[in-house]
Structure 1
Amino acid sequence: MDILETHGLHSQVRTLTDSTRTAAEAAAALGCEVGAIASSLVFLADGEPILVLTSGSHRVDTDLLARQIGAAAITRADAARVREATGQPIGGVAPLGHPSPVTTYIDVELKKHGELWAAAGTPHSVFEISYDDLRSLTGATEVTVEEN
């Protein structure tokens, strides 16, 4: 991804033969913890697309998220809305490289992992990045997506 290099990051995009469509699949293919997978999920907050970068070990509590970001309702985007907002397919959505900016939130749980893996725009490609670099690069706002 030229975007990474442009920002001084030297992460390499890895293309895997195994699918990375789910966090569990990605973790198995990479030999890492599921929690170190930075899943890029598209939701609709009051009808507008938002991107939530969440730990692969978490499920997004949409009511909790809505309270934190001041939305009346949050629903999952369908495949057409995901592609419209990101230019990428479900299961391969990267946290960056979208046709236009998407308001982005990042799960603070990801801080617990030194090395994160995120999709690189296809269901078979990933790249490595730190939490701080991911947050900085995407301009994401920190949130809690799951109550413990």
Structure 2
Amino acid sequence: MHPRAAEFERRARERYGVEIDVLEFDAGTETAAAAADALDRETGAIASTIVVSLSGGDRDGSLVAAITSGANRLDLDAVADHFDADDAEMGDPGRIREVVGWSIGGVPPIGHEAALPTVFDPTLAEYDTVYGAAGTPSAVFAVDPETLADLADAAVVDLTG
């Protein structure tokens, strides 16, 4: 197992008391479509974690996380509105790696270095099982969506367009 995927498994066990079974693939799973293809699942069942940078308002310069269904597109204006910010943009990859502890393409929905305010796409609740990144661009894990929202301490709110 890739060391970063093993690190994710360890963090899940130690921080949340859950056993995660990481699935690794030779083909990348860094996009929702690629993960869905590798898993032979609907794109909607992929729980993509998108880290967003806010500007203006009380959270100026803050990072937040959005766990969205792979079938949906995150609405950055809705993210800014939800967090009372003037603007929201995709987070800088270097800053995400530094603050969150994971690299884009493998950012898991839980187990970050820093606690991030997190929102959860209600579309994911339509599935019995969803799949999130497990620390690398070729690793995912399966989880019940309600459990995932709880573990991520996420507010369930639709911020997709």
Shorter-chain TM-score bucket reads: over 0.9
The 5 A counterparts of 1:1-148 are 1-6=9-14, 7-46=16-55, 47-147=61-161
CA distance in 1, matches of 2:112, 2:19: 20
Secondary structure of the residue aligned to 1:136 is: helix
Determine if contact 1:40/1:93 at 8 Å carries over to the other structure. yes
AA of the residue aligned to 1:96: I
- How well do the aligned residues superpose, as a CA RMSD in angstroms? 1.4
Shift in alpha-carbon separation, 1:87–1:4, aligned structure 2, 3 A: closer
Kindly tell me the number of residue pairs found equivalent between the two proteins.
147
- 8 Å CA contact retained: 1:38, 1:56: yes
| Cα distance in structure 2, aligned partners of 1:4 and 1:65 | 27
* Contact 1:119–1:127 (CA under 8 A) maintained in structure 2: yes
TM-score where L is the length of structure 1:
0.92
Structure 2 alignment gaps of length 5 or more: 1-8, 56-60
Which secondary structure state, in structure 2, belongs to the residue aligned with residue 118 of structure 1?
strand
Q: Which runs of 5+ in 1 are unaligned?
A: none
- Work out the percentage of aligned pairs sharing the same amino acid: 35
SS of the residue aligned with 1:99?
coil
TM-score calculated relative to the size of structure 2: 0.85
> How far does residue 25 in structure 1 lie from its aligned partner after superposition?
0.2
- In structure 2, how many angstroms separate the alpha carbons of the residues matched to 1:129 and 1:10? 10
Query: 1:8: Cα distance to partner?
Result: 4.3
